[in-house]
Amino acid sequence: MTTAFEGLPLYDDLPLDASAPADSNWGVFGERDELGCLNFLSPEGVVAAAGLVRDGKVFRLDTRLGFNDPPFFGRAQVRHTIVKLGEVSHDDVIDNFNTQEGSQWDGLAHYGLASRRAFYNGVAPEEVRSGPGGRLSIHNWADKMVGRGVLIDVYGWRLKHGRAVDPLTDEVYTLEEIKAALSEQAGRITPGSMLLVRTGWLETLQALSVEERRTIAAQRMPPVIGLEPSREMAAWLWDNRVAALGVDNTSVEPLPAGDELRGALHLQADGAATACRLVHVHLRLRCFAGKLATPTTSRKPPPCLRCSRPIVIAAHDQPVRPSEGDERGRAQGRAGAQP
């Protein structure tokens, strides 16, 4: 499929402007752009992705609110209350909802580049605010998050080949392993693809006892398996015109990540320093990968129609960060917070 992105620079040709940070895509989509790599999502890509539907099966990819008790990184536990309105009527109230506690997309204002005191496209911290006029809010994504989903079951690939793997350590899935799993599982990346990578972290964590999970959560930076946080990984994602990346761990890259996340994909790819718009999102990929791509089955994980949408906060006329919420293949976004 011919795309409008063929004329864009390769990673090695970035940045366009010598005054921009090294390896950054600032200005590639325009000086005022607030979408980053979500620009790779297109109407043509949506039509092509819709044509992938064969069996009509629907998969939820969200983690439930409060799945980890207590939450990691000192975050507050969400509270759900059912309020009685009358004899046969009720409301639901959710308090203490930290959008990083469950499944969610990270916005382009989640992490910036400290050395520049700036976010994607040079946006200053003062420009990031709630309500009208705020920059880098995900209200810009409201009609964008639909496209071709591609599953890479690198955890299942390691198990199949008898390679040791412990998702509750800071092990690294290398770029070569990601490529090998994609190739063996007959996967193919096209411009605008949204990658879903199964690391095995979430299902391993949830198999532990409550006390074991609480012990891990009490650590300042619990060890997490993740993707190789290298320039080569960022280049591969950019040069393949990947729109977004979903994973089933806390951070994309391994944790602990070292000196204040320096060099981590989290920092490189949230639009501050490098070209890629990555996603920090806990996805229940075992539901998808575990049923279609485990070592006990020869069936390959097919590409899919992948959707997510923000929810609008009327007071600001802006959506909050889309939690992967009711993400049933054509996901309904659950409440989150901007940016």
Q: What is the mean pLDDT of the chain?
A: 79
CA distance linking residue 101 with residue 75, whole number of Å: 7
- pLDDT tens digits, residue range 287-301? 455 545 444 344 566
Closest CA to 145 of 13, 22, 24, 306: 306
- DSSP secondary structure string for all residues of 18-42: TTSPTT--TBTTBTT---GGGGG--
- pLDDT tens digits, residue range 212-238? 998 998 898 899 999 998 989 989 999
Read off the pLDDT of each residue in 302-309 and give the average, rounded to a whole number: 78
DSSP H helical ranges for 207-322: 210-217, 231-239, 265-269, 285, 291-292
CATH of region 11-334 = 3.50.30.50
Q: Is 163 exposed, middle or buried (0-12, 13-18, 19+ CB in 10 A)?
A: exposed
CA distance linking residue 234 with residue 113, whole number of Å: 16
% of the chain at pLDDT higher than 70: 76
Range with the poorest average pLDDT among 40-44, 114-118, 173-177, 324-328: 324-328
pLDDT at 339 over 60: no
Is the peptide bond prior to 71 cis by the omega test (within 30 degrees of 0)? no
CA distance linking residue 331 with residue 245, whole number of Å: 16
Q: Is the pLDDT higher at 296 or at 95?
A: 95
Read off the pLDDT of each residue in 197-214 and give the average, rounded to a whole number: 91
Helix (H, G, I), strand (E, B) or coil at 262: coil
CA distance linking residue 147 with residue 101, whole number of Å: 25
pLDDT at 141 over 70: yes
CA distance linking residue 136 with residue 129, whole number of Å: 9
Whether residue 278 contacts residue 144, with contact meaning beta carbons closer than 8 Å, is answered with no
CB atoms closer than 10 angstroms to residue 180: 16
DSSP state letter for 169: S
CA distance linking residue 329 with residue 339, whole number of Å: 24
Specify whether the backbone of 23 is left (phi greater than 0), alpha (psi in -120 to 50) or beta: left
Give the confidence band of 3 by pLDDT, cuts at 50, 70, 90: low
Give the confidence band of 311 by pLDDT, cuts at 50, 70, 90: low
pLDDT at 204 over 90: yes
- pLDDT tens digits, residue range 319-331? 445 444 333 333 3
- Indicate whether this model's pTM tops 0.85: no
Backbone angles phi, psi at 183, to 5 degrees: -65, -45
CA distance linking residue 119 with residue 128, whole number of Å: 9
CA distance linking residue 164 with residue 171, whole number of Å: 10
Q: Report how far apart, in Å, the C-alpha atoms of 199 and of each of 94, 181, 290 are.
A: 30, 12, 11
Q: Write a three-state SS string for 272-286.
A: CCCCCECCCCECCHH
Q: CA quadruple 288, 1, 279, 168: dihedral positive or negative?
A: positive
Give the confidence band of 332 by pLDDT, cuts at 50, 70, 90: very low
Closest CA to 189 of 173, 201, 178, 200: 178
pLDDT for res 46: 94
